[in-house]
Structure formats: C-alpha cells, structure tokens
Amino acid sequence: MSDRQLTMSRAMVDAIAHEMREDEEVFVMGEDVADYEGIFDSTTGLREEFGYDRVMDTPISETAFIGAGVGAAQAGMRPIVELMFTDFFGVAMDQIYNNMAKNTYMSDGNVSVPMTLMTAVGGTYNDAAQHSQTLYGTFAHLPGMKVVVPSTAYDAKGLMHKAIRDDDPVVYMFHKRLMGLGWMPAPDGPKTAVPADDYTIPFGSADVKREGADVTVVTLGLHVHRALEAAEELAGDVDVEVIDLRTLVPLDTETVVESVRKTGNLVVVDEDYRSYGVTGEITARVAESALDDLSGVERVALPDVPIPYARPLENEVLPEAQDVIDAVRSLSP
Amino acid sequence: MYEWMVTARYYEERLQEEYMEGKEPAFDISAGPIPGELHLAAGHESSAAGVVSHLRAEDTVTAPHRPHHIAIAKGVDLKRMTAEIFGRETGLGSGKGGHMHLFDPDVNFACSGIIGQGVPPAVGAALAEKKRNTDNVAVAFLGEGAIDQGAFLESLNLAKVQELPVVFVIEDNDWAISMPKERVTDVADGSKRGAGHNIPHDRVPQDDAVQVFDAAREAVGRARDDNGPTVLEVQVHRRMGHFMGDAEAYRPEEDKAAAQMRDSIERMEDALENAGVAADDRDAIRADAEARVDEAISWAKDQPEPDPSAAYENEFVNPPAGVADTEPATDGGER
Ligand SMILES: Cc1ncc(C[n+]2csc(CCOP(=O)(O)OP(=O)(O)O)c2C)c(N)n1
C-alpha cells in the first residue's frame, strides 16, 4: 500500500475525480459545490479540473436538483448529488424515498437509478437541532437505497468508487468531524494511507477495527474513533472488539454475530436517535441469530430529543468515549 | 428606525468579537464562548427597520437563518436573545435553540435555519388572524436565495387563494453563500415571483430605510385592510462572509468593496440630517443603543449555563404517558 496519507475529504474527492476522468457520464451537482468547493471540502478542486458543466452549483432547490439527479440517472448518467446537510432532507424527501429509492422496484427492475447522494452528518460543534443530526436510521429504514458511512480515508475512497459504479442509488453519509477540515479538527484516526490507484470496498463488509475477546462494540462513522478510544482506555481490564459497520444497507450481520458468539457481550454505539434506529436493529439481528450466546446488551445513542445548542446540553446527549466505557463496564464482562 | 439600525449593527460587531474569542489564530468552529455557525446581518438593517416600523407586537414575524436585525426591530428581548446565543439558561430557549432558532412568543417572533421553511408558518399566522377577524398581519422574511424553494412558492399560492394578510419580504443581498444571484435566477427582480400568483409586488432597489418604510407602509396596510398578500423585495448588502469564518474566496474583490461602500446606516444618517435632526441627537441615539447592547452582552455572559439534565425537558408541553419529562430510563448505560 502507498504511504500517501490523505484526509477523508481528499480521499473522497480522489475517487470522484478518478471516476469523472474515466466516465463522461459522471457529474456532480449541489449547493456550493463548484466555487465554494463544498462546505465540507467534499468537492475541492473538481470545478477547476472539470468546469461548471460537470460540477454544477444549483439554486437552493433540493426537490428540483435531487429529483433531477434521479431523472439523469434514469437516463443513464451517473450523477453525484450533494445534500449539504442531511438535516435538509425534509425539503426533498419525496424525490429521495418515493423516486430515487422506489423506481427500480416499481418498474420491476426495468428502470435503474445509478445515483450517489452524498450528505454531511453529525454534531459535536454546537450547531443545534436543525444542523447536527445523523439520521442514519431514517435512510436505512426506507428500502431501496444503499447506505454508506465511511470512518477513514481509506474506506471513504473505496466506498466512493463503489458507490459511483453501483447501478443502484447510494446514500453516502460522511461525518463533518472526520473530514479533516481546518476549522473543525478531526480525531487522529480518519487520516490514513490511501493508494493512488482506484479500488473498491464491497458493500456489506463490516471491518473489525480492533480484535477483542470480552465485549463486541458495533458502531460506525465518528463513533468508530470514540469506540477505539474507549477500547484503548479499557485495555488490560476489558478486551474490547470494535466493529465498524461501514455500510448500513446492506448490513454485514454475519461479522457482528460471529463476534458476539465469541465475546458474548454487545454494545451498539450510534450518533443517531436511540429509538427505532441502528442500535435497535443490530441488537435485534444479534438476538435473532445468537440469543443463546448473548449475555449482555447495551445501547449508546442519542436519547430521543432534538440536539440542543448549548455546550453542556449537547455534551449531555451526544455519545462520547466515556459513555462507551460506561456501557462496556456496566456489562461487567 | 435609526435606533434599531445602529443597535443591530453594533450588536453584531460585538457578537463578532465575542465569537472570535478562542477561535484565533486557528479558526475552530467548536471553540470559544459562541460555537456553531453565526450568520451576521451587517448591511441588512434597512429592510428590518423599514418593514417592522409598521408592525406591532401582535403581528407575527418569521425570520430566516440571519435573524438578529429583524429580532431587534421586532422588540425581541435583547438580553434573553443574547443569552440564547451564548447558550445560557436564561436564554429565549434556555440554550436549546441557538442563534438560528430564536423564539419570542411575547412579540410573536420565530425563525428557522432551513431555507424557505420559515415562510409557511407566517402564512399560518396570517390564516389564524383572518379566521379570528383581527387586523393583525404576518411578515415572512427570506433571502433572495430562498425564493426558489417550493415552500415559498407554495406559500405564495396559498396566501393568494385565501387572500391572507401576509407580506413576504425578500432581502436581496446578491449572494446565497457562494452563489451570486444571477446564477440562481433569471429574474433580477425577485418580487416578480408574486406576479405569477397575481400578488401585488414591489422592489426597493437600494438599502434605503426610508424607501423601504414607504413601500412597506403600502404592503402592510394592504394586509391590515384585508386586501391580501404582497411580495416586497429590498436590495441589501452582505458586508461580510456568509457566516463567520467564511473567507469568501469565491467573491470578487470589487463586489466585497461595493458592499462595503453602500451603507444603509450612512444613508439613514443623511436622511436624518436632511430632515433637520441634529448630529447631537443622532449621537445620543447611538450612544444609548451601544450602552443597551453592552449591557445585554455582559448580562448574558454572566448568566449560568444550563444544567445538562435540562436537555430532556420540554420536548413535549404535555409529555405522553411513558415519556418522562426527565432523563430517559436506560438499561444501565447512564446517559
Ligand atoms: C433547505 C436548505 N438548503 C440549504 C441550506 C444551507 N444554506 C444556509 S444559508 C444558505 C444561503 C441562503 O441564501 P439567501 O436566502 O440569499 O440568504 P442570505 O444568506 O444571503 O441572507 C444556504 C444554501 C439550508 N439551511 N436549508
């Protein structure tokens, strides 16, 4: 592997630029993706290389441009459309879940929608209830779209190549705190070595980021790094295995179940709301397949409240490494 | 009007200083006493002053993500608004809302950080007033970048077919983050969105509070007299970046410079001078405004931060059975 270290945003852009060079039908559109180069650096340098025709700034009209992405994809192109913050999905959700996600099924496979919808998720910087959500559960709950959540630069690139080449709609959710932005410092983990050549990471293959014998911690996105921090802290005391799901749809149940068979203890960590979300889904799947092996379960997620603005309030509701540590300890493995 | 304008400008200058604390030399959005995004409205003052002059506390105003100048004109409690921006317990939303989500029901003021989405609630407020047969009105403020949102276009139609007492005020500062107006729309006069719905419309081509005042008198008067909605566009200027920390690499230097030159406050001072208001009187108004702002900021900074347990309060006014208005019961993992 190359020793070229990239931030997660650079790695994503690397993949997008490669696909645009290879295939004239790939283009990017969204708010502030051309001149601003993406609020979260998700399109840095693309307009300069490919021009306004292929990197299109759109008016603030999510219904129109996300729906247009669906139409262009159905016409055989491979649009990458950015929804600036996942929180804004509401203004365009019909295009997302009734068109983008359902047209293939409703046409019984006669129509395909090879579109990538990329969007920024997450809090940790006090941007309050309308700009800090994660919403993995919402997108993964609605059938018909694949849902991807990278946690490192290496994964970000491989998953982006895969997303663009995939013939189905893919929602690519990147955490702002992982991007390596100058104005929002990232933890150490996400910046990794990234090969210059293209490569894909298959959807539905979770990554065991750390092996351990006592407790399985299943998580994704920013919380992979928090869980690793917690595991490090607990090392010598409790031996924690950390699994990064990488994609929510498809979901790699097997890797999770296998791990729980080994450890007997499950902690699921998610920055999304607790109820009806990722933590419930993972727990249910493990219960379905490995109930006899399971001695303890904990869920660490946002309590079911909107994300508050003030720092002590946001800190209270967002899961931190300490919350993971407490959850692992409460299982007294 | 002058008082509101200088209050708003000075308020934001002070907020800017406070915001940058802890964020220099390396800008980290999550550092300092005011984290998160902060959108300042320097250069927008004329629209708020000219329009809100015709409103009373009973009238409803909804503002977008850039709300402070409008809130100040509407009479939102300055101290509690400031405490909210600093995330304090005594803030308008006890620290839960933040700068894009200010609610002051005492003066019927609300805002939303999602583009265009503050507009339908203003239509709803107007609907309520009409149903109750009052002569109260509603005003929705939005940016020129927001006029392409479905929520706005649908609101125009609903307001017109129901002949609701609402005024849509478009603040045209030429920019929507990095998108210049001419790349957003082919219609230079955004108020013409009203024409397609058979709604009277008008545009004030410069940030002149007196001209805005005159145009708004007609629009608000029309609403109060039960003659239906109006779309009013006001040319304002974005004197700074979209949000604090925006280096504006996309913005031509000439445009930045031009926005700095055309200043609504100086225009207002000229108007006052022409009307024979003595410089001393103006200075007194300004000094008064500055004192009020300084007081609000130092008061807010002295306020306590909310207790973390407050995060679970008031999700519902009337918590349903099983949803405690306290920390949720968790199985072990203390949150
Ligand atoms: C639905 C939605 N899309 C995008 C955004 C991100 N956003 C915030 S402000 C803004 C530009 C708004 O421009 P304009 O309406 O002209 O107001 P201005 O900021 O110039 O005052 C954008 C795109 C958002 N908050 N909501």
Residue tagged 């009734």 (tokens) = A98
Residue tagged 């957003």 (tokens) = B184
> Does B27 contact chain A (CB < 8 Å)?
yes
Range 294-313 of B in CB contact (< 8 A) with A: 305-312
> Contacts of residue A311 in chain B, CB cutoff 8 Å?
35, 87, 305
Say whether A91 and B150 touch across the interface (CB within 8 A). Answer: yes
Atom of ligand 1 nearest to the CA of B146: 15
DSSP string, B265-299: HHHHHHHHHHTT--HHHHHHHHHHHHHHHHHHHHH
Of A26, A230, A27, A33, nearest in space to A120 by CA: A33
Q: For the beta carbon of residue B124, count every other beta carbon within 10 angstroms.
A: 17
C-alpha to C-alpha distance for B123 and B173, rounded to whole angstroms: 24
Say whether B333 and A124 touch across the interface (CB within 8 A). Answer: no
Say whether B335 and A317 touch across the interface (CB within 8 A). Answer: yes
Task: Tell me which H or E stretch contains B3.
Answer: helix B2-20
CA–centroid distance, A181 to ligand 1, in Å, is 21
Instruction: Judge whether B61 and B138 are in contact, CB under 8 Å.
Output: yes
C-alpha to C-alpha distance for B306 and A200, rounded to whole angstroms: 47
Q: Looking at the complex, report in whole angstroms how far the Cα of residue B172 sits from the nearest Cα belonging to chain A.
A: 14
Range 47-86 of B in CB contact (< 8 A) with A: 84
> Does A320 contact chain B (CB < 8 Å)?
no
Instruction: Judge whether A144 and A169 are in contact, CB under 8 Å.
Output: yes
Structural domains in chain A, sorted by start: 5-193 (3.40.50.970), 207-331 (3.40.50.920)
> Contacts of residue B179 in chain A, CB cutoff 8 Å?
31-32, 35, 57, 59-60
Say whether B101 and A323 touch across the interface (CB within 8 A). Answer: no
C-alpha to C-alpha distance for A242 and A212, rounded to whole angstroms: 8
Instruction: Judge whether B155 and B139 are in contact, CB under 8 Å.
Output: no
Closest partner residue to B114 (CB to CB) among A88, A185, A309 is A88
A215-219/A240-244 β-pairing? parallel
C-alpha to C-alpha distance for A17 and A135, rounded to whole angstroms: 27
Number of H helices, E strands in chain B: 11, 8
Say whether A298 and B332 touch across the interface (CB within 8 A). Answer: yes
C-alpha to C-alpha distance for A220 and A178, rounded to whole angstroms: 12
Q: For the beta carbon of residue B121, count every other beta carbon within 10 angstroms.
A: 18
A170-175/A116-121 β-pairing? parallel
Instruction: Judge whether B327 and B335 are in contact, CB under 8 Å.
Output: yes
DSSP string, B113-160: SSTTTTHHHHHHHHHHHHHTT----EEEEEEGGGGGSHHHHHHHHHHH
- pLDDT recorded at residue B261: 86
C-alpha to C-alpha distance for A299 and A293, rounded to whole angstroms: 18
> Does B157 contact chain A (CB < 8 Å)?
no
Instruction: Judge whether A45 and A17 are in contact, CB under 8 Å.
Output: yes
The angle that helices A278-290 and A253-263 make with each other, rounded to 10 degrees, is 70
Atom of ligand 1 nearest to the CA of B41: 21
> Does A317 contact chain B (CB < 8 Å)?
yes
Atom of ligand 1 nearest to the CA of B243: 19
Q: What is the pLDDT of residues A38-60, one digit of tens each?
A: 999 999 999 999 999 999 999 99
> Does B178 contact chain A (CB < 8 Å)?
yes
Minimum Cα–Cα distance from A86: chain B residue: B114
C-alpha to C-alpha distance for A173 and A179, rounded to whole angstroms: 11
C-alpha to C-alpha distance for B128 and B120, rounded to whole angstroms: 12
Q: Looking at the complex, report in whole angstroms how far the Cα of residue B270 sits from the nearest Cα belonging to chain A.
A: 37
Of A19, A21, A51, A24, nearest in space to A35 by CA: A51
Amino acid symbol at A75 = A
Residue tagged 């980290």 (tokens) = B28
On the CB side of A121, CA atoms within 13 Å amount to 28
Residues of A catalogued as catalytic? 131
Q: What is the mean pLDDT of residues A144-152?
A: 98
> Does A322 contact chain B (CB < 8 Å)?
no
On the CB side of A214, CA atoms within 13 Å amount to 14
Measured by CA distance, the residue closest to atom 12 of ligand 1 is B176
- pLDDT recorded at residue B332: 42
- pLDDT recorded at residue B65: 98
Peptide bond into B67 cis (omega under 30): no
- pLDDT recorded at residue B323: 60
Q: What is the pTM of this model?
A: 0.96
- Helix, strand, coil in percent for chain B, rounding step 5: 45, 10, 45
Q: What is the pLDDT of residues B18-73, one digit of tens each?
A: 999 999 889 999 999 999 999 999 999 999 999 999 999 999 999 999 999 999 99
- pLDDT recorded at residue B321: 74
Q: What is the pLDDT of residues B162-197, one digit of tens each?
A: 999 999 999 999 999 999 999 988 899 999 999 999
Q: What is the pLDDT of residues A80-89, one digit of tens each?
A: 999 999 999 9
Q: What is the mean pLDDT of each run of 10 residues along chain B (335 residues)?
A: 97 97 93 96 97 98 98 98 98 98 98 97 98 98 97 98 98 97 92 97 96 98 98 97 95 93 92 94 97 98 98 92 54 41
Q: Looking at the complex, report in whole angstroms how far the Cα of residue B70 sits from the nearest Cα belonging to chain A.
A: 20
Instruction: Judge whether B54 and B136 are in contact, CB under 8 Å.
Output: no
Under DSSP, the state recorded for A185 is: P
